[in-house]
Structure 1
Amino acid sequence: MLSFGLGSLRCWNRRRQPSASATASFSAYSPPSYVFRDAWQGVRGVRMVARGGLHGATLRPADVLRGALELGALTFVMTHNHPSGDPTPSDEDVELTRGIEHRAHLIGVELVDHVVVCPNGKFSSVFKS
């Protein structure tokens, strides 16, 4: 389970069903972060890979996938915040997610979900939007 300061959210397993394993803490104002998991859905590590400004963050797929390779992760969950309070994934969020998902597949790592969180406790999944 991923725990956020203003709410809670479950990681999703391969079938896009909640996975009740492993806990990592984030604040609602967390920058783009990634939870890397092993074959038993245990957390191998949590990494912040970018810090954004007023208009977003600059992020390359290589920045994310480097952590997966260094930690020997089989799956990972992406998360970032929308300070506006609207958890709806932007077009850029969807495009970035699809690009990282494709590249992760090429190296044998599965992107399980990309979650957008807000300071008001609301959240949404890029995969479910």
Structure 2
Amino acid sequence: MENSKKHPIDTLMSDTMDKIRQLVDVNTVVGAPIQAEGVTIIPISRVSMGFASGGSDFTGKHQKPEADNCFGGGGGAGVNITPIAFLVVHGENVRLMPLYPPAYTTVDRVVELVPDLVDKVSAFLKEKKEPEDQ
């Protein structure tokens, strides 16, 4: 019959992963919205983490068969949470406000300018449409 008892390394790893899940969830990356004078501010963070776990069985030919405590092991994790930006929502406008210096690559700069571009194009189209309606 198969031994249904969990190996200590399984318990060690699942306990460590459960603790990490408690620390880091989607609310850690995208924080809770903050309401202030008609503006909603949503904090955005970068989360990086490391995880290690290991163990060893100390059973051998000199070990008594009834000895149950023949395992040594450990596990650990590190989590780094760094705030990187805020999403600012004011009416229908959404703006990303980075906490660090401006983007250095072309792609980063384009992504940063998209909200302004959308606002300007929308305003331009609205202006073009209004004279036609009159």
Shorter-chain TM-score: what band? under 0.3
Q: More relative contact order in 1 or in 2 (CA 8 Å, sep 6+)?
A: 1
Which structure's CA Rg is the greater one? 2
Normalised by the size of structure 1, how large is the TM-score?
0.23
